[in-house]
Structures are given as C-alpha cells and as structure tokens.
A and B are shown apart, each in its own frame.
Chain A
Amino acid sequence: MTPLPTTERRPLSDRTFGFLLTLPALVLFGAIVFYPLVGSLTTSLFEQSLVQPGREFVGLDNFRAVLDDQFWPVLWNTLVFTGLGTIAPFLIGFALALALNTRLPGRALLRGAFLFPWVIPGVVVSFAWLWIFNANYGLLNGILFRLGLIAEPVSWLGDPDTAMYAVIVAKTWASFPWIMVMLLAGLQTVPGVLHEAAGMDGAGVLRRFWHVTLPHLRGIIGIVILLEIIWNFQHFDTIYVLTGGGPAGATTTFAVAVYDTAFKGFDLGRAGALGALWLVLLLVLVVVYVRFAEREEQS
C-alpha cells in the first residue's frame, strides 16, 4: 500500500499504524508463549515446588538428576512413538490418496468422510480406542477370539510389551486423514501430460509412480513428514488418556513425563530440566523443517 500524504486528521503514519495493529497478538504471544518459555527454562536451574512458595538455585543439579534417571527411557519412548506414529499414517494416507486420485465413484464424499477420525476431539479418539482395546469386552479381543487367534483376552494397554503399539495405532487412526488430504492436493497438481508421455515411452504403472509421481510430490511429502514428526514429538492427548504414560512407564514420552513431573510430582525444577532437553531436540527438528520449507519455496 502506498502511503498517502499525511494530513492532520491522521497523525499516525501508515507504517506505525500497521505495526500497532499487531500489538494485541504480540501481547498475547509475549504473555502466553514467550514469558512462560523463558520462565520454564529458568526453573530448570532451581529447586522449586508447584505447591510451595520460594525456590533455591541449584545450578545444573536438575539436569544431572534427569540424565541419570528419566531422560534416556523417555527419549526412546518418544522416538518410537514419533517414528512409527509418522511412518504408519504416512503409508496409509499415501495409499488412500493414490486410490482416491483415480476416477472412483463418490470420491469427493469419501474424501470428506475419511476426515472424520482427524476432525473429532482428541479425547474422543482415545475413548473409542480405549473401548476397542478393552481387555474384558473389547472389540479387538472379540474379533481375534472369534477367529481363533487368541485363546484368552489380551490386555493391550495394560501390558508393557503391547501398550506403545496400541497407542500408536490410535494415533495413526487420528493422523492419516490429514496426510491423505495434503498428498491428494499434491497429486492433483501432477500434470497428466507427464504421465501420458511416460506411458507412451512404455513406462508401467510402478515406473511412472517412481519416476513421475514421486519426484513431483517430493516437496509436499517432505513437509508432511517433517510436520508430523514435530507434532508427534510433542504429542500429549492420546497417550495421556489411553495409558497415562503407563504401564510401568512404557508409554511415557517427553510430553507426559514433563507434565507428570510438574503436576503430579510437583517438581518444577526437574520438569523444567527435562523440558529444556526436550525443547533443544524439538528445535533441531524445527530448524530442519524451516530450512526444507524455504528451499522448497525457492525451487
């Protein structure tokens, strides 16, 4: 917008006014994101309780304690959840996007219907799967029992060996629709001419997928996977409602561990230290994402 000549009735310049318009958002950002971020990171250097006033400077003691104890198992759980929780919905979402990109009857309706698991509140996702995984009356045990695959009910969420996979299944269910929509939007930009040309050169379906479709989707695939990784790395809702981090800490990821340490253990210092380590790892992912997004925008 070209600045108009300033008159006495409009003492503010366009630039100043433009900046002032962002003030409400900046105040919210400062109060709800920036200040709490700095505050929580500072807490990691103190011995501080949620329920008692006062705190004592302890240097890096909290970091030492956390690295000796929780950090490594929590990191492993977070990596498993993030890794499988990204790959599984990606494969399902991609397969579905390819299938819906054909001339299937009713595909617009199907695309909308498939969004349902992603649209509903996160706690409802957890409720539905809690009930399906229920050891005594659950649907999964019922089907496996009828098929003769199990002799007696399995406690999917109560067994440390299966709980994490059960949680990942629930998260996969809630994640794949978004990936499907993104990839479908990308697929629709692949020029039909390219496929025609490749088809005339004798390339089969698989080769055309590999040499035409995939290269064209590279950017969107990268963005989708990186964003999923970043979101899964800090995911809380599904895990917390399904298992609360249990059994025996088998599904305790960073989000659950920081939350529990602060709001159940009341130990803000250790929660801050664990959160600081978590944030550093997260920032690495965010930097990778921003770099990738910028490079894609340029090309």
Chain B
Amino acid sequence: MTATAHAPARTATTPAPAATPRRRKPGNLGAAATVAVIGVFAFGPVYWLLVTAFTPNDDVFRFPPRLWPEHFTLEHFANLADNAVLGRYLVNSLIVSTLTAVLTVLVSAYTAYSFSKFRYRGRRSLMSLILASQMFPQALLLITLYLVFSAYGLLNSYLALILSFTTFTLPLCVWMLKGFFDTIPNELLEAAKVDGAGQGAVIHRILLPVSLPGLVATGLFAFIRGWNDFIFALTLAGPAKQTLPPGLVNTYLGEFQAAWPDLMAASLVVSLPVVIGFVVLQRYLVAGLTSGAVKG
C-alpha cells in the first residue's frame, strides 16, 4: 500500500481523485466477498424455510434434498387454515400482544414523562431499578410467579401474560419515550400550565398528542415483544390461552413430529407481522438498539 493517495475511501464528501479507484478496488472486493459468505449463512436458512413451506411433501421427504424447488404448492398453508387450534393460538397472540402494547404505552408514557421532565430525589435510582429488571433470569422469577398467579386464579388467563410481557418490555419502552419527550420543549408544557391546565391535562391534551409517532413506535415494539415471547406463555398459559410460539412447539414438536413443511409455513405466518413491524420501525430502530435494551 503506497502512501501517495490522500483520499481514503471513507470520506464521502470529497470528490474522488484519479488515483482512488485503483486503490479502492481490492478493499471493495474483500468487502463484497465477506458480505457474500456471511450472506449464505444469514439467508440460506431463510431460503430453505421458504422453499420447504411451498414444496409438496413428496419432494420434501427425500434424501439428499433438492436445493432448487421443482414443484410448487400452497397445501401447507391450507393445512394451517384448516387447523382450528392454530386459529385459537393466533387469536390469543393478537389479543395478548395488542393489550400488552396498550398497557405498555400507558405505563411507559407516565414513567418516561416523569424521568424526562421532573427532578426529584431518588429519580436516578428509580431509573436504574427499571433498567435492571431485564437483567434478572426469567426462569428463576417464574418459580414464584407461577405460584402467585396460581394463588390468585390467574393461571391460564390473558392478564397473567399481559402483566408479565408489559413488565419486561417497560425498560426499553420507557427509554425510547424518554428520548422522545426530551426533545419536546419545556416551554410548550409550561405555557399550558400558565393558561390554567392541570397536570393531567398537560399530559393528555398536550404531551401525548404531540408525541403520537413515538407512542406508536413504542406500542409496536411492545406488540412485537409480546408476540415473540416464549417462556412466559409456555409456563403461565394452558392450551386455551396459549399464544403462537409455545402453541406451535406443542403442536408440531409433539404430536405431528413429521409435519416439517406445515411448520415452516406456520413459521412464515408468525414472522410476517414482526417483519412488517420492523420495516415500519426502521427509523426508531437504531436509537432503540443502541440503548442496549432490546433483547433480554
């Protein structure tokens, strides 16, 4: 590598001098090769999931498998639609995730408003406390949670799932909304108070309406967390109230162990809302990710 070229590949603003293309080529080739190799690892399983979901059983159950699909079918998706139990899991997932989103937005909005715009003793400790809740192992908490919910007759109820999901989604959502509220000028809220609005009115008539995009993003995030959860729904809900993740495990890894194409089709269906949600959330994603609280 010679020292003559003075415009490295990374400065996007300066126009590239004549010497640059010759130098950049090996770097870009290496980058493209890296992306290609990791791409095979990243997208190979996705490709295989898709192929299996649309391939007839006769072609799926053979060894060695065909890497390129020859026949196309929608029968596996039809099997899913015919399965009433899966329909119930889907409804449960929708109900629980939606209510989790609503409750999470409410609770985290109040908490984030408090952290963002008020100063009082113990505020920092409270913030650490909320943030810490994602560090505790859930399997350990579940030992007692199971007994508590059982004592109050809340096992196999939506409420047990909603309360659990909401609690573990709170840290991220509070931090997301706090970041949002921090950008709202204090003068806006003060002006309303001077005009005679009470504390509640400031929240519900000023703060929440101007924060609508942030609230939607937070709600979507909470929905996805509820939708994806496995261990709480597995433990606290029986067949009647179970959501899709444990429901699919019980259905396909139990009785119909060989129904791989159906399971792949179901996997696509479960993933769809989450993928759509993340495409919508892209703008908020990096901020949420860097707060280090997304997955626990």
Which residues of A line the B interface, CB within 8 A? 1, 4, 9-10, 12, 14-19, 21-22, 24-26, 28-29, 31-33, 35-37, 39-40, 43, 50, 92, 95-96, 98-104, 110, 112-117, 119-124, 127-132, 134, 136-139, 141-143, 145-146, 153, 173, 176-178, 181-182, 185, 190, 192, 195-196, 199-202, 204-205, 223, 227, 230-231, 234, 236-237, 240-241, 254-256, 258-259, 262-263, 268, 271-272, 275-276, 278-279, 282, 286
Residues of chain B lying within 8 A (CB to CB) of residue A134: 260
B81 within 8 A of A: no
18 residue pairs of the A-B complex, CB under 8 angstroms, read A12-B199, A19-B122, A24-B106, A25-B108, A37-B141, A99-B32, A114-B42, A116-B42, A122-B228, A122-B230, A127-B263, A129-B45, A141-B64, A173-B41, A227-B292, A236-B138, A254-B139, A286-B132
Residues of chain B lying within 8 A (CB to CB) of residue A182: 289-290
Which residues of B line the A interface, CB within 8 A? 1, 3, 5-12, 24, 27-28, 30-32, 34-35, 38-39, 41-46, 48-49, 52, 60-65, 67, 106-108, 110-111, 113-115, 117-123, 126, 129-130, 132-133, 135-148, 163-164, 166-168, 170, 174, 186, 189-190, 193-194, 196, 198-199, 227-228, 230-231, 235, 244-246, 248-249, 252-253, 260, 263-264, 267, 270-271, 274-275, 278-279, 282, 285-286, 289-290, 292, 294-296
What CA separation (Å) do A241 and B231 show in the bound complex? Answer: 11
User: Residue A43 contacts which of B9, B144, B186 (CB distance < 8 angstroms)?
Assistant: B144
When the two chains form their complex, are residues B286 and A196 in contact, meaning their CB atoms are under 8 A apart?
A: no
What CA separation (Å) do A101 and B11 show in the bound complex? Answer: 11
What CA separation (Å) do A39 and B151 show in the bound complex? Answer: 14
User: Residue B129 contacts which of A1, A9, A10, A29 (CB distance < 8 angstroms)?
Assistant: A29
User: Residue A95 contacts which of B34, B122, B170, B279 (CB distance < 8 angstroms)?
Assistant: B34
Residues of chain A lying within 8 A (CB to CB) of residue B120: 15-16, 18-19
What CA separation (Å) do A227 and B5 show in the bound complex? Answer: 40
When the two chains form their complex, are residues A200 and B6 in contact, meaning their CB atoms are under 8 A apart?
A: yes
What CA separation (Å) do A227 and B172 show in the bound complex? Answer: 14
User: Residue B34 contacts which of A33, A98, A190, A205 (CB distance < 8 angstroms)?
Assistant: A98
User: B102 → chain A, closest Cβ, in Å?
Assistant: 13
Residues of chain B lying within 8 A (CB to CB) of residue A18: 114, 117-120, 123
* B interface secondary structure, majority: helix
In order of increasing CB-CB distance, the 10 nearest A-B pairs are A18-B118, A39-B144, A275-B140, A142-B64, A21-B114, A36-B144, A99-B34, A32-B167, A99-B31, A15-B120
What CA separation (Å) do A136 and B196 show in the bound complex? Answer: 73
User: A75 → chain B, closest Cβ, in Å?
Assistant: 14
